[in-house]
């Protein structure tokens, strides 16, 4: 096969899985986990993680060593990627038909791609809430991986988005946590006048902005409407709250950020600006709290605070919603030793490992019931978990809940909005057309 032909074939295979073709599952069959299967503790079990950052990578590395010590005939092969690189790595592995036995997945459409492609084992018999394993997990986290009434995912941690801030900067300027979005913008004005960047944003990777906009959409568009529009077959995108949310984002961009420069800044650089006290705030996931005040950071644990991005006054959506979703792993239907892969993930999701995961330096709130010991954790992570529990709705990430083409439309259009080459109306027109293009 010539190089160009081979490349095209590989690319089409990857596109098929990620929603751009209907030919992804023709050669595969559904696989259902057997709760009574005997585990053969031999051979290799491979896993693609999202723990590639230096601060996070020891977690799975240490667990792998523990598991190999317990089972000397087993080798655990780790493929560790970052939040930014895992998407491209997953697509490359799909394209070459070399997905590992266990692989990271978000909920929503991203995970649904694997089910449609028949690459994810139906774990219902082993992880449904009424099973021994499932009963040890936070119910909402397990249910987040339901597709067509079946359970396909293994939740590892809970996640949500909050505005992290430097308490000292706020105190020095006489500021407090804002009560609403309008008050938040006024706080940005005060911070900017002091010569400090109010909010550092890095949108070079394109996905950070969907988190801001997702939260504003939850505040401005009713949940029922949002969920209807997530499905291209029922989507209309005609609620005025969409444009209103994007107009609010532009107000935020103009008054709180460095503007279009965000498109040339990496999200890691933006976080670094907060830790170096060069910005007063940074919108971050709860799983990043420990990274904000880690070793070498000028922002100490006692000076770190957080609050949900405030809702606009008279919000017509849900003012108590929070942007976020649990994240976890799936089992490859083509794994040679599925019982071993399941056994390894049961080991990963033990209560003891959950407590390690929830504590510094990881700070990832475990999805295991009892897998978080407040005495071992960053107080801010403990408080963040309480906020998640109080939330009336977890607004899923726009780039993983939507069909891939719709997600791509959001990503590119929001970069253009931030850069000034598209209006809120232009963005919604692009998203609407992308959704119509993939509707059945």
Q: What is the pLDDT of residues 299-353, one digit of tens each?
A: 888 999 999 999 999 899 999 999 999 999 999 999 999 999 999 999 999 999 9
What value does the mean pLDDT take over residues 393-398? 93
Assess whether the region 3-159+325-371 and the region 161-323+397-438 belong to the same CATH fold.
yes
What tokens does 297 get? 């950071």
CATH topology of domain 3-159+325-371: D-Maltodextrin-Binding Protein; domain 2 (3.40.190)
pLDDT tens digits, one per residue of 301-311: 899 999 999 99
What tokens does 4 get? 């160009």
Instruction: Say which range, 5-14, 58-67, 233-242, has the weakest mean pLDDT.
Output: 5-14
Neighbours of 359 (CB within 10 A): 20
pLDDT tens digits, one per residue of 133-188: 999 999 989 999 999 999 999 999 999 999 999 999 999 999 999 999 999 999 99
For residue 68, count CB atoms less than 10 angstroms from its CB and return exposed for 0-12, middle for 13-18, buried for 19 or more. Answer: middle
For the segment(s) 161-323+397-438, the CATH number from 3.90.1150.10, 3.90.850.10, 3.30.1360.70, 3.40.190.10 is 3.40.190.10
Confidence of residue 29 (pLDDT cuts 50, 70, 90): confident
Counts of helices then strands in the chain (DSSP H, E): 19, 13
Closest-CA residue to 37 (of 343, 349, 344): 343
pLDDT tens digits, one per residue of 271-291: 999 999 999 999 999 999 988
Confidence of residue 18 (pLDDT cuts 50, 70, 90): low
Cα of 398 vs its chain's centroid, Å: 10
Confidence of residue 22 (pLDDT cuts 50, 70, 90): very low
d(CA 226, CA 247): 18
Proportion of the chain above pLDDT 90, given as a percent: 87
Note the pLDDT of residue 284: 95
Note the pLDDT of residue 10: 38
Note the pLDDT of residue 26: 52
Helix (H, G, I), strand (E, B) or coil at 16: helix
Produce one character per residue of 75-91: b if its CB has 16 or more CB atoms within 10 Å, e if not.
Answer: ebebbbbbbbebbebbb
pTM: 0.86
Note the pLDDT of residue 23: 38
User: Across the chain, what does the average pLDDT equal?
Assistant: 92
Domains of the chain by residue range: 3-159+325-371, 161-323+397-438
């Amino acid at each position: 096969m010539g190089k160009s032909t081979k490349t095209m074939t590989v690319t089409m295979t990857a596109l098929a899985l990620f929603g751009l073709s209907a030919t992804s599952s023709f050669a595969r069959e559904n696989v259902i986990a057997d709760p009574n299967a005997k585990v053969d503790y031999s051979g290799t079990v491979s896993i693609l993680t999202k723990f590639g950052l230096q601060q996070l990578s020891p977690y799975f590395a240490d667990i792998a060593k523990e598991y190999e010590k317990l089972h000397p005939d087993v080798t655990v092969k780790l493929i560790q990627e970052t939040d930014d690189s895992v998407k491209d790595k997953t697509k490359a592995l799909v394209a070459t038909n070399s997905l590992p036995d266990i692989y990271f997945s978000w909920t929503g459409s991203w995970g649904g791609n694997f089910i449609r492609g028949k690459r994810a084992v139906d774990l219902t018999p082993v992880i449904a809430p009424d099973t021994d394993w499932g009963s040890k997990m936070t119910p909402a986290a397990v249910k987040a991986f339901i597709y067509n009434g079946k359970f396909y995912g293994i939740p590892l941690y809970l996640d949500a988005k909050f505005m992290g801030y430097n308490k000292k900067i706020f105190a020095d300027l006489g500021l407090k946590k804002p009560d609403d979005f309008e008050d938040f913008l006024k706080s940005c004005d005060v911070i900017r006048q002091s010569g400090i960047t109010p909010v550092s944003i890095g949108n070079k990777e394109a996905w950070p902005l969907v988190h801001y906009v997702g939260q504003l959409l939850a505040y401005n568009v009713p949940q029922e409407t949002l969920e209807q529009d997530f499905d291209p077959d029922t989507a209309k995108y005609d609620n005025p709250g969409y444009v209103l949310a994007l107009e609010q984002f532009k107000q935020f961009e103009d008054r709180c950020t460095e503007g279009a420069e965000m498109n040339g800044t990496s999200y890691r650089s933006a976080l670094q600006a907060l830790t170096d006290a060069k910005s007063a705030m940074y919108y971050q996931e709860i799983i990043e709290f420990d990274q904000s005040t880690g070793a070498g950071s000028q922002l100490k644990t006692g000076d770190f605070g957080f609050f949900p991005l405030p809702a606009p006054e008279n919000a017509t959506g849900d003012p108590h919603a929070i942007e976020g979703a649990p994240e976890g792993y799936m089992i490859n239907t083509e794994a040679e030793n599925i019982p071993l892969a399941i056994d390894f993930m049961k080991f990963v999701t033990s209560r003891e490992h959950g407590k390690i995961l929830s504590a510094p330096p990881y700070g990832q709130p475990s999805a295991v019931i009892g897998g978080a010991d407040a005495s071992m954790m960053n107080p801010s992570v403990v408080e963040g978990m309480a906020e998640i529990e109080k939330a009336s709705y977890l607004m899923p990430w726009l780039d993983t809940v939507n069909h891939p083409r719709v997600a791509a439309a959001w990503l590119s259009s929001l970069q253009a909005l931030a850069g000034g080459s598209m209006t809120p109306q232009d963005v919604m027109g692009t998203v609407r057309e992308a959704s119509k293009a993939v509707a059945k």
